[in-house]
Structure 1
C-alpha cells in the first residue's frame, strides 16, 4: 500500500479535539500525585528533599496511561485518516444506462447482416450480459417513443424484451428523438443519479434537431449516438427474409443518412460511434457511461476518499488486552447497557413483552419486512398499506385484497390490479389500473400493467371465440363401480412474480404492440 504524504488528511477533523484530553491526562495525573508540591507550603523547601522517602515504583504504566492511549488512538481513528481516492469497482455497474432503439422500417435493411435491427439486438444482448447487475432501461421509438422496460438489473428480463423488438410494433412513422429524450429524463428523475442515453439508429429527422439542445439543458443526461448501417445502404427485408417492395414494385432500400447522424450528435453534444460487432463498440459505450457517472455524480464526489481509520482498530484491541491486569478494575455498565439493547431487539417471527413495551406494532412489522419475514410482517402491521404490501409479498392475496380494498390511493389500486390479473379477472384488473391512473396520471408501472391486462383479455376472448363447439358422441367410463378412488386436481397458485409471468398466455411482442397502439391513440400526433 503506497501512501502519498501530500494526500494525507482527515475526513472528520473535529474528532482530533479528543487528542487534547488524551495528551493532558498523564500530565494531570502526575501533577496530582506529586507529594513535593503538596508539602511545599508546609515544610521548608530546603528541608523537603531530605525528609521525603519516595518508594520505588516498579509499574511504569498505569491505567491513566492506557486510558490516554485509547483516547489518542481512538481520536485518530474516528477522525478518518485517508490518503487514497475511493474508486469502487461497482461504479460502472451502478451507472444507469437508457437504451433507445430505432424501430423505423429502414432498420430492416440488410447492409448489416442479417439486418440492422438484428445486429443491434445482438450487440444489446452482449451489452446487457456484460453489465450484469447494472440498472438498464429500454425505449423503442420511431415517430413516437415508448417505454419498453423501466430501469432494471435483471439481464434475463431485458433480453426477453430486446428480442421482442421489431419494426412493426410502432405504426407512427418518423424518428422522434425529442420524445426519447423526454422519456429518458423522466426515467433519470426516478433514478436520481446521472445517467446515459444510448441512441441506436440509422438516421434522424433533420427538421426536429434544433430543439434537442434546449431539451438537454440543465439535465444530468449524457447522450451517445451509435450509427447502425453502412453508407451503401441495403434492401429492406421482411421477417421471412424476403425483400420488401415500394409502390412501384421495386425492392425497398433502407437509407443510411450519415449527415443527419452527425447533425444529431452535434445537436445533442454527443459522441458518435458505429456498430462494429467486434466488441470495440461495447468498450466505447461502457467507457463513456463510466466517465460520465464519475464526473457528474455527487455521490461519487462524497465517496472519493477511502477511510483508513479502521486500521487503528488493531492497536486499540492490543491496548485493551494489556488493560486486563491484576488490581485494575473494569466498569461493566457499558456492557450491561449493550446486553439490555440486545434483549430489547424484537424477534422476527413473533412479538414479545419487551418488543411491545419499546416498539410499536408497525415498527416490529417493518423490522420483519426488511428481514423478509413477510407472513410475520403482515400479522404485525397495523398500517393498512404496509399490511397489504407484506401480505402481497407473502402470497397471501386474500388478505392483501381485503386490505388494499380499504384504501383509495393509486398504489393500492395498482396492487389490486395485480391481484386481479393473477386471478385472471381482467375486467376488475383493468378498472383498478384505470382508477390508479386517474389518481396519479404519471404512473408508468400502472400504464404498462394496464396494457398487459388489455392484451391478456384480448387473447383470452380470442381463444374463447375460436374454440370449436364439438359435442362428444358418447361418454364411456371404464372404471367399475366400487373400484378406484377419485381425487380433485389442484393447480398450485403462483407464489412469485417469476412463476406468474411464466404462466402468461401472451407474448412480449403482442404485449408491446398492444401497449404502443394504446399510447399512440391517447397521444396527439403533434405531441412528442
Structure 2
C-alpha cells in the first residue's frame, strides 16, 4: 500500500500527550528502586557503595517496559493516525433527485401523444422504477410551486401521486421557476446532501430570469431541464379531454418554446435535454445527476479520513500476551475496582453475559435495528427515541406511542402524528404535526402529513354527515333465525406507509387540488 506522508496526520492528536508519560515510566520505576538515592541524605555518599549490597538484575525486560510500550502504542492508535481519505458509505448511494413538473395548460397539447403531460408522466414512471432505492421528491408548479412529496425511496408511492397530476390542480397561471428552486433548496438543506432538480416543462417565463442568477450560488443544487413537446405545438385539451378554444372560438394551440428554454438554461447554467422515445433521456438525467452528486461530495471529503489506528491492535495484543508471565505483577487495584463497580450495575431483563460485557443495550439495539430485527431492537433500546423508532417499524404502536410521548422533539411529534392518523385520531394527529412544525419550521414531511390529516378529517366528517340514518325497527332479516351464516373476513393489514396510503379514502388528485388551493390562498406558504 502506497502511503503519502504529506497527508499523514492524526485525527485525535490530544491523545499523543500520553507519549511523554509512557516514555517516563521506566525512568520513574528505576528512580523508585534506587536505594542509594533515598539514603543519600542520611549516609555519607562515599560510604554508600560499601554499605549496600545491590544484587544485579539479570532481567532486562520488566513489566514496566511492556506497560510503557502498551501505553505509547495505545496512545498512537487512539490518536487516529491517517494518511488516506475515506469515502463515507452514504456516498455509494445514488444521487437524490427532485422532480418538478410543469402543470400549466400548455402541457395538455397533443403534439406528443397522447399529451405532453401524459408523456412526461409515462417517462417519470420509467425513471423512478430504474432509480429504485434512491430518494426522489416531487414538486408541481405553474404560477406557483407546491411540494407534492418530500424525498422518498418508495417508487409506488411516488408513482401514485405522479399519475394523479393534471393541469387543473393549480389555479394560478404561469411558469414560476424561482419558487421551484427555493423549494428544492429547502429540501436539500433538510437532506444535508447535494442533489439535482429536474425541470420537466415546455417553456419558461423569460421575465423572471434576472432573479434566478444568484439562486444556485452555493453549488449544492444542480438543475436539469427536460423539454417536452415539438416546435410546431399541438391542440390543448381540458381535463375532460375536450379541445380548449381561444377568444375567437378556434382550438387553442400550445407551442414548444425552445428559445425561452435556452434562455432559462443559460440563466441557470443548466444542461438542456428533450424527451425521447427511447431511454436516452433517462440515461442523460441519471448521468448528470450522479456526476454532480459525486463532484459535490468530493469537495466535502477533506473531513473524511480513514482511521488506520486499528492496525496497531495486533502489536498491542501481542505485547499483552507477553506480559502474562510467571512472577510478573503490576498494581491492578484501580482496574479491579472499576470492574467490580461495573459488575454491580442493574442486570437487564434479557441478559447475555458475553454481549452485555462488551456492548450497551443501545448498541445491541442498534445492531438489531440495522439488521431489521425491529421487535428485538425495541426490547433492547433504552433511548426513548430509538425505542420508539424500532417499535414503530415493528408495528407495535402502543410501545411507540409511549416512547415518543416522553420526548419533546419535532421528530417525536412527527411520529406521534403518524400513529394517530393510522388510528384515525385526526385531531390528535393535527396537534402533533403542528407541534412538530413549531419546533422545526422547515420540516417538509410534517407539512405534507399535516395537510393530509386535515384533508382526511374533512372527508371523514363529510362521510359521517352524508350517511343515511337507519332506525332499528327498519332492519329486516332476509333469512329465518338460525339459517344465516357468519363468516370472518380477513383483511390484509397495511404493513408499510405505502399500503396504508393506498387504503385511504381520499384520492391523491382530490387531496393535491385542495392542498394547492389552500397554499395559494395562504400566499404560497406550506
Superposed pair shares fold, TM > 0.5: yes
TM-score, reference length from structure 1: 0.72
Query: Secondary structure at the residue paired with 2:397?
Result: coil
The answer for the alignment partner of 1:395 in structure 2 is: 397
Q: How does 1:478-517 map to 2 (within 5 A)?
A: 478-480=480-482, 497=497, 500-517=500-517
The answer for the alignment partner of 1:206 in structure 2 is: 206
TM-score, reference length from structure 2: 0.73
Q: In the alignment, is the contact (CA less than 8 A) between 1:84 and 1:306 conserved in 2?
A: yes
Q: How does 1:105-254 map to 2 (within 5 A)?
A: 105-110=105-110, 115-125=115-125, 127-129=127-129, 132-216=132-216, 219=218, 221-229=220-228, 232-236=231-235, 244-247=243-246, 252-254=252-254
Q: How does 1:438-453 map to 2 (within 5 A)?
A: 444-445=444-445, 447-453=447-453
Taking a change above 3 Å as real, the CA distance of residues 23 and 376 of structure 1, as seen in their structure-2 partners, is closer
Q: In the alignment, is the contact (CA less than 8 A) between 1:109 and 1:233 conserved in 2?
A: no
Deviation at 1:207, TM superposition (A): 0.6
The answer for the alignment partner of 1:21 in structure 2 is: 21
Q: How many residues align?
A: 496
Taking a change above 3 Å as real, the CA distance of residues 121 and 485 of structure 1, as seen in their structure-2 partners, is closer
Query: Secondary structure at the residue paired with 1:151?
Result: strand
Distance in 1 of aligned mates of 2:391 and 2:78? 43
The answer for the alignment partner of 2:345 in structure 1 is: 344
Distance in 2 of aligned mates of 1:117 and 1:140? 12
The answer to whether the aligner puts 1:328 opposite 2:332 as a matched pair is: no
Query: Secondary structure at the residue paired with 2:296?
Result: helix
Deviation at 1:200, TM superposition (A): 2.6
The answer to whether the aligner puts 1:103 opposite 2:103 as a matched pair is: yes
Query: Secondary structure at the residue paired with 1:107?
Result: helix
The answer for the alignment partner of 1:360 in structure 2 is: none
Q: How does 1:215-364 map to 2 (within 5 A)?
A: 215-216=215-216, 219=218, 221-229=220-228, 232-236=231-235, 244-247=243-246, 252-275=252-275, 277-278=279-280, 279-295=283-299, 297=300, 300-303=301-304, 305-329=305-329, 331=332, 333-334=334-335, 337-338=338-339, 340-341=341-342, 343-344=344-345, 347=348
The answer for the alignment partner of 1:79 in structure 2 is: 79
Unaligned runs of 5+ in 1: 351-363
Deviation at 1:450, TM superposition (A): 4.7
Q: In the alignment, is the contact (CA less than 8 A) between 1:97 and 1:289 conserved in 2?
A: no
Q: In the alignment, is the contact (CA less than 8 A) between 1:8 and 1:83 conserved in 2?
A: yes
The answer for the alignment partner of 1:65 in structure 2 is: 65
The answer for the alignment partner of 1:475 in structure 2 is: 477
Q: Deviation string for 1:2-31 (max 9, x for gaps)?
A: 322333222233333333233343455456
Q: In the alignment, is the contact (CA less than 8 A) between 2:143 and 2:173 conserved in 1?
A: yes
Deviation at 1:137, TM superposition (A): 2.6
Of 158-167 and 197-206, more deviation after overlay is shown by: 158-167
Distance in 1 of aligned mates of 2:378 and 2:32? 63
Deviation at 1:281, TM superposition (A): 2.5
Q: Deviation string for 1:8-67 (max 9, x for gaps)?
A: 22223333333323334345545666799999944699x99xx9896572x442212211
Distance in 2 of aligned mates of 1:398 and 1:319? 48
Query: Secondary structure at the residue paired with 1:149?
Result: strand
Distance in 1 of aligned mates of 2:467 and 2:191? 46
Taking a change above 3 Å as real, the CA distance of residues 422 and 25 of structure 1, as seen in their structure-2 partners, is closer
Of 74-83 and 371-380, more deviation after overlay is shown by: 371-380
Taking a change above 3 Å as real, the CA distance of residues 16 and 451 of structure 1, as seen in their structure-2 partners, is closer
The answer for the alignment partner of 2:2 in structure 1 is: 2
Q: In the alignment, is the contact (CA less than 8 A) between 1:170 and 1:516 conserved in 2?
A: yes
Q: In the alignment, is the contact (CA less than 8 A) between 2:95 and 2:289 conserved in 1?
A: no
Query: Secondary structure at the residue paired with 1:475?
Result: coil
Let me know the Cα RMSD of the aligned residues: 5.3
The answer for the alignment partner of 1:361 in structure 2 is: none
The answer for the alignment partner of 2:358 in structure 1 is: none
Query: Secondary structure at the residue paired with 2:93?
Result: helix
Distance in 2 of aligned mates of 1:435 and 1:71? 54
Distance in 1 of aligned mates of 2:382 and 2:410? 24
Deviation at 1:78, TM superposition (A): 1.8
Query: Secondary structure at the residue paired with 1:209?
Result: helix
Q: In the alignment, is the contact (CA less than 8 A) between 1:275 and 1:281 conserved in 2?
A: no
